[in-house]
Every structure is written in structure tokens, then in C-alpha cells.
Chains A and B, each alone.
Chain A
Amino acid sequence: MATAVVGSRIKRREDPRLITGEAKYLEDIKLPGLAYAAILRSPYAHAKIKSINTDNAKAVPGVIGVFTGKDFADVNPLPCAWQAGGVKNNANTPRILEIDKVTFTGAGVAVVVAEDRYTAEDALELIEVDWEPLPVVVDADKATEAGAPQLHENAPNNICMEWSCGDEAAAEQALNSADVVVKQHLINQRLIPTPMEPRGCIAQYLPSTGEYTVWMTSQAPHVMRLLMTAFVFGIPETKMRVISPQIGGGFGAKIFLYPEYCLVTALSKKTGRPVRWMETRSENYISTTHGRDHITDIEVGAKRDGTITSLKVNTYANLGGTLSTIAPGIPTTLYGRLLSGAYRIPNIYCHVFGVYTNTGMVDAYRGAGRPEATYVVERAVDLIARELNMDPVEVRRKNFIPPDAFPYDPIILRGLKYDSGDYDKALNRALEILDYENFRHEQAEARKQGRYLGVGFSTYIEICGVAPSAWIGLPGEGWGAGLWESANVRVHLTGKVVVTTGSQSHGQGHETSVSQVVAGELGIPVEDVIVQHSDTLGTPFGYGTYGSRSTAVGTVAVYNSLQKIKEKAKALGAHMLEAATEDVVFEDGKVHVKGAPDRAKTIQEIAGAAALAYNLPQGMEPFLDDTSYYDPPNCTYPFGTHICVVEVDPGTGSIEIKRYIAVDDVGKVINPMIVEGQVHGGIAQGVAQALWEGAVYDENGQLITGSLMDYALPRADFFPTFELDRTETPTPVNPLGVKGAGETGTIAATPAVVNAVVDALAPLGVKHLDMPLRADKIWRVIQEHTNGG
């Protein structure tokens, strides 16, 4: 009974405050004397700042101050904390306000602080900037060509870094000896993450102590404090407290240190007032990071029986005008090293240019590198199937890593091994739900009637629980820190449990799932647990929440502390029962003498005794309290099969998703309801990339899709009901057997949808389509293929 709570669909403990409007998000926080900031952003994608005149703005009643980059010349540029491993990175990072030059539309150049936001916005319009516009380049491949506008002096041809992994000679040789080779040019378009809450920051400075308190919309408050104090301001870490209040989604975009967070912090000192800045959605679109944006050429070689022998990939990754916090790590480690997918591909080579262009910064967006890799791999498999006229399911099976091959070393992963998997099992379950055989009959019938019905598969794997520090850190993959997680568990005198964690929940439901683990281990009601997070005061250092790592790394730290607390409870319980420690067991929330369940002390009684400390065994410290730091020995590798069925209307080019089936294996599941929710949301974002979303810059570097009017964020009526199922292959990497579920949907869905549409249009000779597959594009493709072009 005690452990049944893990694996059960309990309602989320964080929801009551969210469904009543009680939760306090950043913009809901109001401090006495609060002042409001508004930021002037560059209207040009590439320009020199010749001068800025703020006199008229300063004269507006209610304006407290107007500042430009020159006022903060003593503040360091932001750090780039993950540079591509093993190669030189020509890093250029933003300043809190740019001083001489901007390299993308939306870069901040001046700020107004006023008594209210309306006044701040009014004054903003009165700032005069003398700009000298410069030539612009927005495409990553074009930016590297001779004669392209140059963005940064230290980055010739706009190349930030050139990185590769795998064995080029072996991949070449295998291509040369392959029975078939397919080449394909692929675009993985730029996306805008769009958490429903934009970004914001409030800072307060206390002159008497020199301490800052900073509230920010961050997925990683501890890291923010570290980066701001040690790298940007050069002050002791002890002089800053960072708090992430209730956070309205992140999807990666709230991992990073942004100029505005540092700016608002600096303003709080400069103005002597607490200052709040909250992004508008339009600001969010031009100044918060974007995701993806790869231009890729692949060559995939195979034997005639469908065995894939080689994959060679060349990618131009657009990093934007300046580097965001971990930008270079995404299209390198998190991309290239996943290119084996779920398959035994003996020869892989991946070469990446990280390129500056006059566009907004690009960094991690849900999946971060892994969706891009999965798109390459899953399209490559389909291209081979098509070339050989084989069933794409058969080609997948032919190349799957078999269950008995785990732990499997895909070589390209440089030292790590896939933990566990049964790829065929998930595939078979998904095929069963679809009734594949019957579907192909239906499809054949439909084709006879001139209907374009298609099915697409994605038998993906991903890397979750991104860690081992020794693997990902500077000497390896270039991450400039560790990637362990922390937790403290305290059982108070009353038997109530306080967990503090370095992870940060911004919609994932950690307060519920962590409580379930605690309740299961200690045999107490879930209601007796409180999970505190997101405040550097009172929680142990943690790297934050991203990369599907909070359960597979963060919650394991909680679990490890619980084991140590149970050990101590056993020792104390035995003492209370006048028994030897080796003669008692911890079970169902009690310590009892083996074979005599009635001779027992409850965890509450033991916690009380530990806290009162009137009678402890010799040498035992008071209180049940433990802190763990967990650095896993490996990442975890969820997998599964997603199947999408579409019908394309040849008259309009519009695509109807008829069915969407997802069979995921995320290892052990703590709360199936939460996992399903994560998968639903991920699928929606992945499908949206395939069909609708795409950030578009014009040739002048203006973001055409600069608001929710223009960017095709999906609505409720865009989707069918997704059909979900699971297989459960625990990971041996951690004692909970959990792998991670936050990103599976976005990683898996995109190629499943594209493969389905290509399959639907296969009778017309269509072999590949670049996303997004909007109706106008599909209609044109159909016209070209039916009317001879």
C-alpha cells in the first residue's frame, strides 16, 4: 500500500492556487515603491549606434531615469556557458544594453524607468537614436559565403564554431560501398517557443547590505545567480538572492541569462527603487530566444536489404546575432551525438557550422538538438525505404538495436551507452493500435479513388536526464559547469516532510510527483509533504529544469536522501524499540522488529523523537535531515513509436490529421496523468512544427512573424484526440528506473507528421517536403506534380 502512491494518477497538488488565480507569477508581484522599466529595441537588424539622445524622454513627468549602454559600460557582457566542446568558439555575447552596434532586430539599446508602465512606454518613443544601418544577412548558409556582411570582428565569415563528430573517412567509405545512397537537403525551420507567460524580472537593491533580491522568470534560478554575480557584475554570490516565482511555462526559453535580467538588477541599484520589467509578446518574439533553424544536407547509404551502413550530415546552425547562454552546445553535443537514433548505424559523421546571422538569438527549445537529430534520422530511414521500395516499418525493424544489445554503445555518443530499450515492442503496440495491415488496404482503396491518405512513423529515441558532469563538462562536451542535482529532505517534529530541491518547476508538476516519491518511500500521506523550490534562499544549489532531467536527476537526489533518512530512522526506531538495528525493518511508514510487525514505531514517532532528541542512541545527531547531490553515471534514453495518419485534400492542399498514435517508453512512471500531459503538449508542439509554425525573417532582418497574429501557434481545433499508450522499460541508470518525459512529444512528432504527408503524396512522386507543410505549399507541390511543373 505504501508504494502504491508511486505510479498513481493523483491530482496535482499545485493546481488549487492555479485554478483560482491565487498563484503569483512575476507580473503579479508588486513591491512598495515599485518602478517600471520599458526597453528601447533596435528597429534594425544590423546597425551602428552613432548617438542616442534621451533628453526629451527624461523630461516626461513620471520618468525616474533614462539610460543607455554607455551608462553600464562597466558591466561585463553576458557569459556563454556552453561552448562547443573541443573546438575554438568565436564567442560574441550580448551586453545588457548594446553600446556601439546591434546585430539583430530587438536588441536593447536604451531603457526608461518610470512611475508606471504607460509613462515608461510614452517616454520610450521620445528617445532619438542616430542609426547607421549596415548590410544584413539572415540565412546561415549565405552568411558563410564570401562577401556576406560580417557581424563580428572575431568571427570571420560569421562562423562562431566548426564542430564535428564521428569518423568522416569511415562514413565516406561506407557511402562509397553502399548499394544505394540517398542525398537530401533538409530545412529544420526556426521556431518561437512561446510560453504563455512572457519573460520578466523584478529587482530590489538594499544599499545597507549591498544585497540584491531578483525575481525572474527562470527555469534555473541558482545558475542565474551564479552567472550574474560571478560573470556579469563581479560581486560575491552571497550578495544576491534569485527567486523564480510561479512560472508560466518555459520550453527552454527561460533557461538562459538574458540582458534584461541583468539590466533590471543594475537599474534597481542605479535608481534606488525596486524595478519591474515585463516583456510584451511582441518583445518576446524579437528578443527571447528561438529554436532549431538548421540547414542540413544528408547522405545516407544502405544495403539493398535495407540495412543502413552510413550517415553523413552537414549542418549550418543559425545561432542568431549574438550567442545565448548555451547556444553552441545545442547543435553540437545535443544534435550530432544523437544521430544514431534507435538504429545500429555503423558509420556516422556530422559536421556543423555554428553561424551568426542578423536574427534573434537561437538556443534550446523543447528537445533542443534532439528533435533536429531525430528529424534527420527518421527522414533518412524513410528516404531509404522509399529508394528501396520497402515498407518503412520493415526498414526500421531491420536496423533497430535489439533488446539484447543493451547497454549499447552507438560510438557517436563518445563514451555513453544507451541504457535499456525494446524498440520493437513499442513499435508493435503502436501498429496494433493503428491496425497497420488494414490501414494499408484502406490506403490502397483511397488511392484508387484519388484520395491522398498517408501514414508516417517515428521510432525515436532521445537523451534525457542530461548529466554526467564528467561527460558533459569542459574537458568533454564543453558545458562550463557540472550537471548534477540536489535535494534536501527534512522530517519535522510533527512528521511533516519538507523537501527542498534545486530543480525548478514551471508547469511539470514536480510538487506532486516528488511528493509521491516521498510518500511512497516514507509511507506517509502525500498531503504531509511540501516541496519547496525556485528560491536560492533555502534550497540547495541545482542546475535547474530542462533536458527532461528533473525526475531522472533531481528526483533521484530526493530518493537518495530518503534512503539515508530511512536508515537513520531504522537506527533510532531500533533504539526506541530496544532492539538491534539489524533486527528491524522499515516498512509501510513504520520501523518494526522483524517478524513482529506490532513492535513498531511510526515514522512520525521516530521523527518526533529525533527532533526532541531527549533520548538518542550514542553519537546520533538530532533530526531526520539529509542533503544529497546526485550526479548520474549516464543519461537516460526514452524511446517509442509515434504514428501519424493524414489525409491531404488535393483541392486545397490542406492536411487533416486523422489519427495520432503515441506509444512512449519513459521508463518507470511516477504519475501517469502528468506524463500523459507532458506527451500531449509535446506532440502538439512537434506537430505544429511540421504543419504550421515557422519564424520568418525578411531580407532586412525584420521578423515577419512578430506577434501571435502572425505566428501560427496552434489552437484547440487544430488537433485530433491523441491516442496514447506506454511500454515500460526501467532504466538501470537510477534507482527509480525513470527516464524522463518532458520532450518525447516534440522529438518524436515532427518527423512522424512529415513522413505521413510524404507518404500521402508518394503516388505523385513526392519524396521530400520542407516544413512547415502549410496548405499553400502543399497545393503548389500537388500542382507541380500533377501538371508537369
Chain B
Amino acid sequence: MQQTTTIDRAGSPGFFPPARRASRRSMIAALVVGTLLVLLPVPELLRANGILELPGRGLYGQSNLNAAADTGVFVLLALGLNIVVGYAGLLDLGYAAFFAIGTYSYAILASSLFQFHVPFWIMLFASGLITALFGVAFGAPTLRLRGDYLAIVTLGFGEIVPTFILNLKDLTNGTDGIAGIDKPAIGSFVIGAGNDNIAFYYLALILAVGMIFVVNRLRDSRIGRAWMAIREDELAAASMGINTTLTKLLAFGLGAGISGFAGTFYGAHLGFASPDQFSFSQSVLILCMVILGGMGNLWGVILGAVVIYLLQTVILIQLNNWLNDLGRTIHFDPLINLNLSANIFFIYGTILVLFMLFRPEGLLPSNRRRAELHPETAAISEAERQEIYDTREAGQADPDTKGGT
């Protein structure tokens, strides 16, 4: 009953669509956020050049720009893992392994270790490709496994890769890690020369925006819809003629490739690679971002990555300092000695459990997942209505229609 009304209203031409308002709203939001992101380093730029006198601590400052550039890395990682977990529904608990392969590919081929100095711009895609090949090689025999077995196998892979990095000393320099990784350069301009994070920040922003565009287009493509079909019902997807093994492999390989891409930037930005950066905790951290934000929703996982990374590097530390100060003022020892960062994984663990129990769709869920998890709420029909309207409105852009004509 509800469904028929939904379609009728969405289809009637005189109906002023809520979707239109929503999309205008989101465009304004995107514009505001985009402007803020572009302008973020300006205060620091002015301060560094002595134009403006600003107090030493604030949202600007090199260390915060540093964190902002690394946030870009985690946005890329969350986008990549979202393809695997969110779109294709394959739980990958060893995603950090691919990140490690990407970072080490760049670290080995562009540092003073072997005196190879392959340019960053080539390696950005080359290590993405290398990592994707690892993903395919690892995925090919294992992707036939059922969900929870696959999770464990990927976890095993996530443990094996750091073990190899640790033990293949001739190639990776073992526990010492690889230092002095090349910084990206455009002609004679070296990004991040003199420990300046402004250029790195913009590079991260460009890479992240580019990747958002690519993933967004992928999601709406034939492959993207095949991923979601497999996630919803593998058997049904196979009966519709989707080659499930190949499609899953593609998700796995692309997800891995994106983390290789991110790893290259990460290595260049940090200038250092060591095996302990890629532990199981790192995989869980990225998974946490995807789940917190909203599995399967592009904007959701970006939000998740930003929130969690900033929580870890900026907010928690500030909060901790503030609480310690408060403890000193009121002479309360537990507050003085409080160290929130030491308990960061308690917070992540709690996020995982609480979100699974109370909001499994995440902060910004995709419409489909929300509808699946809360079929009883009225908000869903609204969302569905928008989706249907969007499809009709888009008309020619809709691949289904295009295929038919």
C-alpha cells in the first residue's frame, strides 16, 4: 500500500520533489565543506610568512596540518575498504597488509636504501598496481570461502605480511624500517621541503577528492551494482548472470589497489616505513572507520575516517590535556594521571560493539542499508521515494535506461 503511493507521488510531474531540495542542500554543504578544506592552511600560511600574528595553538599550525594530511590517507583507506566490505560485503580483517605492501613498494623503490629513486607520481599508480596484484593473487584462491572464513583468512594474511616484512631484512631493512623515503617533487619544487605540511595537505586533498570521484562513479557503474547485488544475495546475483568470483576478485583487487595508492602517499609524507605500523590494530582501526561512518555509503565512510582519525590524533589529546589540567586544579589524582590515548582501543572496541548493537548502519547510512535494518521506520519510505525520484530525474544518466534503448 505504502509502496504504491510512493511510486505515484514520485512519478507525478507536478510534485515538488523533496529529493531536489535535498540535493541542493547537499550541494551547499559540499561547497561549504570544500571551501573550508581549501582554506584550512591559510592561517598557517599567513602566520608562517609573518603577515598575521596568531597564538601558537589552534586548529591551524603545522602539527594539525600534518594530522589533516594523514586524515587524507585514512579517507583513502576507508574508501578502499568500503569497496570490499561495504559494497561487496566481504569482511577483510587484514586490510593493513595491503597498505603495508603499498608503503613498502614506495619505500623500497624511492629511497636511499637501494638508491632507486622512482618518481612519486609514477609510484603512486605503480604501487597501487603492485598491491592490487597482491590482492588478486591472494583473493583468487580464498574468495570462494564463506564470509566468516574469509575474514579469518584475511586476518591470517594480515599477520603474514608484517612477518615477512620483519624477516626479509635484505629487502625491507627488518625492524629498523626504511628511513629517508623520497618526497614528491614537481620539477624543482619538492612537496614537504623543510617539514612544511601545507603542500602535503593540498596533495592529500587532491588525491582524496580524486578518489572520491572515482569510487563514486564506480559505485554507480555496472560493476558497482554487481558488487551490491552479490552483497545482498550471492545466489540471486549469480542467477542474474553476474560472474561472482570475478566480481568479488575485482572488489578485492581494487580495494587493495587503493590502499597501495594511499600507502605511497603515507610513505612519502611520513618519510619512514616500519613493520609495526601495519598490525592487526591498524586493520581494525580502518574497519572501525567504515563501520562508524556507515558501511556502503561513500560519504559515511569518509566521515568515519575523519572522525576517528581526528579523535585519535587531535581531539583525544586535547581532551586529555584539558582533563589533566582540570585534575590539577581540583587536586584529583585519577584525572591528573589519566591517559586517554593509552585506552584508545577500548574506545574503538566499544564503538564496534555499540554500533553493532544499536546502530549497525553507522552514522550516515546508505539508504538501502537503513531500509534493510529498520524496515519499520517511516523515514525509509521517504528515502526510497528520493531514490526512486533520483533515478527518474536522472533519466538518461541511469544506466538501466541507457541499456534498454
Question: Do A and B share a complex?
Answer: no
Binding site for A on B (CB under 8 A): none
